[in-house]
Structure 1
């Protein structure tokens, strides 16, 4: 992914996604007020949640670190939007979205996928 516009377009394609700026400089993508992806407007970083079994693989990649303040919840931060191939970043964001949706109440999950 090469631009913030591509990131926004992709994230907005995921059902019930909302976008807002939080903490003054982070573009946050959420589903039912639960964030699944965050873009640093000042530094160009992107953060998202990863499955526990993939955590080590992500953080062993140059340019990816445990996300500050969110690492204990399984989040990582890429130091550049184009660090991962577009298809890999989209898969990662989609996985983060799915992981967040799976923790929502069943009633809300049913609203999303019916």
Structure 2
């Protein structure tokens, strides 16, 4: 998996924007809220995303998954090397994180985004 493929998956989702935060992190957002943070300049490239509370502990048992610093208390997971996941897994986790963040947006914000 590459950062370009992850980017393509993200940009297929409705109302997604991307930006650079903290000088080196490529972030994907919906309604101004992040749902995926990547570190394309790090070796290996890593990524952080939101997961459901009920999956959080279970995912931490997987090789290459750890609690995301600063965001772990909100059930964000870091994948230490994006190549550890297949494209199918990335689609799943990206879509899941997107939906979790989107669902927390106010109804008015979701309507203005058309989602």
Matches within 5 A, 1:1-114: 2-43=1-42, 44-111=45-112, 112-113=114-115
Structure 1 length as normaliser, TM-score?
Answer: 0.92
1:109 CA drift (Å):
2.2
Q: Which has the higher contact order (CA 8 A, sep 6+)?
A: 2
> 1 CA distance for matches of 2:69 and 2:14?
27
Matched residue SS, 2:82: coil
> 2 CA distance for matches of 1:82 and 1:57?
20
Structure 2 length as normaliser, TM-score?
Answer: 0.92
> 2 CA distance for matches of 1:110 and 1:16?
11
Q: Which runs of 5+ in 2 are unaligned?
A: none
Question: Aligned-residue CA RMSD in angstroms?
Answer: 1.1
The total of aligned residue pairs comes to 112
After the TM superposition, which parts of structure 1 deviate over 4 Å for at least 4 consecutive aligned residues?
none
Q: Which runs of 5+ in 1 are unaligned?
A: none
Matched residue SS, 1:6: helix
